């Protein structure tokens, strides 16, 4: 007689039900049990068993080693995925979105989005059943590792796994909810409040602009006299001239060379490291730059315009106390990574760029 443990029985029952339903088991809110639904494949991590989280860490670390900019791209990616119908990997889709149409990547507010090749590489190395992660989980874990890496271990926040991938990916839906850089304070506040984030969290998360880059079109309004928000004249002049040679600018003036910084009137304050090694590092220097009115986007500058004083106070606190920002940024990123996926159906995508072929709509 064959004896089955209670756990084995429960698993066979679960798999059986999933078989009859015609797709892998998916729990409420688009979360699934780990490691179900795909064929076994050879371990590609050099033969030894590697925890999936370690695989993510290894690949993200390698990628950032080659180019720190990849880390910034991965941090932006989780914001742009989770803000639009929750963390569902929808930002990665190229083809076959539910309902058709242009996918999120083509949204105006997704200009410059990158890091997709890193996500694909991670997915390709996590394809055995015991190591499987959804594309949505990979986006969340990759951003966590990028944050940990770029902050030199100062920002370390917990994230769970068990997300499933959505089937909807719509450019117009993304443009409707992602904040453009031209928003004023009240618009930013309302945008974040709609997702359950308060002013302090808005200020903490905006601190991500301590790293990464922006295209000219993302800050052109600040150089144009008819649309310009108050920008310090020396910073504006320095930027207007420099952008002719460098249409892609670092978000943080810290990462510009000394000639530019001097021309822009930027003061290197105590606690700000402008050495080459500190370029691209996540620290609180965004708040130093912002309180000196030397930030790229109107949306950054607007944080000075909270009449209640909350945003200004938070900026002062984060500028004075880097540890406080590390903690609050980590907490807000963990919360962002938990935004519940919403949609008509969920699956575990085989290729993060393509909705699975068995979708019917």
Where do contacts with ligand HEM occur on this chain (CB under 6 A)? 69, 72-73, 75-76, 79, 111-112, 114, 179-181, 183, 188, 205-206, 208-209, 211-215, 218, 251, 297, 299
Smaller CB separation from ligand HEM, 167 or 210: 210
The token pair at 128 is: 């055995």
Smallest gap, in angstroms, from Cβ of residue 219 to ligand HEM?
A: 8
Residue 3, CA atoms < 13 Å, CB-side half-sphere: 1
**Among 31, 80, 209, 288, the one annotated catalytic:** 80
Smallest gap, in angstroms, from Cβ of residue 179 to ligand HEM?
A: 4
Smaller CB separation from ligand HEM, 70 or 167: 70
- Respond yes or no: is residue 209 known to be catalytic: no
Distance (Å, whole) CA 229 – CA 209:
18
Dihedral over alpha carbons 46, 47, 52, 57 (to 10 degrees): -20
Smallest gap, in angstroms, from Cβ of residue 76 to ligand HEM?
A: 4
SS3 readout for the chain: CCCCCHHHHHHHHHHHHHHHHCCCCCCHHHECCCCCCCCCCCCCCCCCCCCHHHHHHHHHHHHHHHCHHHHHHHHHHHHHHHCCCCCCCHHHCCECCCCCCCCHHHCHHHCCCCCHHHHHHHHHCCCCHHHCCCHHHHHHHHHHHHHHHHCCCCCCCCCCCCECEECCCCHHHHHHHCCCCCCCHHHHHHHHHCCCCCHHHHHHHHHHHHCCEEEHHHCHHHCCCCCCCCCCHHHHHHHHHHHHHCCEEECEHHHCCHHHHHHCCCCCCCCCCCCHHHCCCCCCHHHHHHHCCCECCHHHHHHHHCCCCHHHHHHHHHHHCHHHHHHHHHHHHHHHCCCCCCCCCEECCCECCECCCCCCC
Smaller CB separation from ligand HEM, 339 or 352: 339
Smaller CB separation from ligand HEM, 79 or 325: 79
Smallest gap, in angstroms, from Cβ of residue 57 to ligand HEM?
A: 19
Going by C-alpha positions, the residue among 92, 157, 184 that lies closest to residue 332 is 157
Task: Specify which residues 163 forms β-bridges with.
Answer: 31
Smallest gap, in angstroms, from Cβ of residue 213 to ligand HEM?
A: 4
Smaller CB separation from ligand HEM, 138 or 167: 138
Smaller CB separation from ligand HEM, 59 or 75: 75
Smallest gap, in angstroms, from Cβ of residue 229 to ligand HEM?
A: 13
Going by C-alpha positions, the residue among 257, 277, 275 that lies closest to residue 266 is 257
Smallest gap, in angstroms, from Cβ of residue 189 to ligand HEM?
A: 10
Active site (catalytic) residues? 80
């Amino acid at each position: 007689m064959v004896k089955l443990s209670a756990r084995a029985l429960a698993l066979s029952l679960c798999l059986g039900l999933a078989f009859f339903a015609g797709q892998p088991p998916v729990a409420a809110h688009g979360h699934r049990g780990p490691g179900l639904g795909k064929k076994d494949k050879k371990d590609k991590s050099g033969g030894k068993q590697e925890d999936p989280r370690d695989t993510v860490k290894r690949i993200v670390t390698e990628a950032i080693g080659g180019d720190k900019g990849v880390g910034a791209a991965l941090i932006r990616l989780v914001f742009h995925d989770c803000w639009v119908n929750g963390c569902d990997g929808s930002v990665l889709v190229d083809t076959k979105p539910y309902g058709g149409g242009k996918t999120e990547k083509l949204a105006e507010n997704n200009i410059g989005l990158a890091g997709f090749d890193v996500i694909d590489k991670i997915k390709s190395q996590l394809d055995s059943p015991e190591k499987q992660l959804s594309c949505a989980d990979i986006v969340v874990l990759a951003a966590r590792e990028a944050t940990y890496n770029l902050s030199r271990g100062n920002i370390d926040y917990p994230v769970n796994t068990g997300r499933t991938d959505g089937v909807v990916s719509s450019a117009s839906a993304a443009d409707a909810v992602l904040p453009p850089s031209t928003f004023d304070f009240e618009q930013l506040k309302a945008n974040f409040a709609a997702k359950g984030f308060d002013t302090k969290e808005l200020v903490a998360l905006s601190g991500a602009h301590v790293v990464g880059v922006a295209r000219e079109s993302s800050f052109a309004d600040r150089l144009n006299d008819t649309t310009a928000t108050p920008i310090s004249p020396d910073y504006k002049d320095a930027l207007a001239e420099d952008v002719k040679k460098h249409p892609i600018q670092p978000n943080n003036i810290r990462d510009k060379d000394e000639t530019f910084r001097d021309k822009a009137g930027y003061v290197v304050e105590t606690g700000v490291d402008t050495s080459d090694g500190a370029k691209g590092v996540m620290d609180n220097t965004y708040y130093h730059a912002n309180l000196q009115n030397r930030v790229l986007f109107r949306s950054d500058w607007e944080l000075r315009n909270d009449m209640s004083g909350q945003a200004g106070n938070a900026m002062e606190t984060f500028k004075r106390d880097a540890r406080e920002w590390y903690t609050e940024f980590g907490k807000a990123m963990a919360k962002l990574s938990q935004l519940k996926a919403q949609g008509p159906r969920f699956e575990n995508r085989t290729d993060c760029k393509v909705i699975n072929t068995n979708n019917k709509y």
